[in-house]
Amino acid sequence: MQQHLLARRQAPRPSRPRTFTGLLASAAATAGLLLTALAPGAQAVADNPYERGPAPTNASIEASRGSYATSQTSVSSLAVSGFGGGTIYYPTSTADGTFGAVVISPGFTAYQSSIAWLGPRLASQGFVVFTIDTNTTLDQPDSRGRQLLSALDYLTQRSTVRTRVDASRLGVMGHSMGGGGSLEAAKSRTSLKAAIPLTGWNTDKTWSELRTPTLVVGADGDTVAPVATHSEPFYESLPGSLDKAYLELRGASHFTPNSSNTTIAKYSLSWLKRFIDNDTRYEQFLCPLPRPSLTIAEYRGNCPHTA
């Protein structure tokens, strides 16, 4: 009898059945973990904190506006030194943290209005964009290169939107002599993440010093800076180890970058995203190399990219 009682005392008590509410809570927690693990882009965001905006599609990178609402602020030439003022375009949301930034220079005899279309277009995709005026409309590429860097310094250190900018993720663009200036800027400041000369002009044809991923954009009908004496030698002189590309627009002129252009915007955006934001979701639009089309006469480059 004592042995029987002892056995009853030592036997494990049956666990109480969990309440319906408890079961629901447990199931919800499990489902939440599962959804977090499976959510599109969840792992990518963890791997790359610089991704901004939804996963890109061909339609989204060709659109005239991206997913971010934007605002703009004017910068007076009287309030700055080293360049001629300009306009800053930026995403209004601060929910995603800071953004990479790009400064864009106009060409010879031109004002920022000639490249203003790129401001809201790129900003709405998740960049802070500064289209600038130069000190004079006659400034040469080396001067424009210095002015691009002065504008970047102003943007990251003194501007009203400086807290929205990640100063470690910067790029430069420019048209004509401004394009030549973007090469000069990249040569001087090797920490830049991207450079895009648009139908660039420069008396210097060799750029083996560059360490910045560079997309050279030329135009098959350019008579001011013909690709054979400007964009092509620029591209060919870049180091073989550098991430680089050459896009030649079909049916285009030297002044094509002065108007809204889907091909320029599509590949410029993809280049900036890939190298300023390290957003490999945009690699699909650059590699494999785009093929000739109604708007592309030629595209060269190294694939896959190494940066």
Sign of CA dihedral 280, 281, 286, 287: positive
Exposed (0-12), middle (13-18) or buried (19+): which is 235, by Cβ within 10 Å? buried
176 is a catalytic site residue: yes
**Residues near 279 by Cβ (< 8 Å), separated by ≥ 6?**
48, 50, 51, 52, 273
Q: Which of 176, 182, 268, 270 is catalytic?
A: 176
Q: Pull the structure tokens for residue 117.
A: 């279309």
Catalytic residue selected from 222, 243, 277, 279 = 222
In the annotation, is 26 catalytic?
no
Token look-up 């106009």 returns: 106
> What is the amino acid identity at position 293?
S
Residue 230 annotated as catalytic: no
Q: Which of 175, 230, 254, 305 is catalytic?
A: 254
* DSSP assignment string, 73-110: EEE-GGG-SSS--EEEEEES--TT--EEEEEEE--TT-
CA angle 222, 257, 203 (to 5 degrees): 50
Q: What sign does the CA torsion over 182, 49, 261, 113 have?
A: negative
**Active-site residue set:** 176, 222, 254
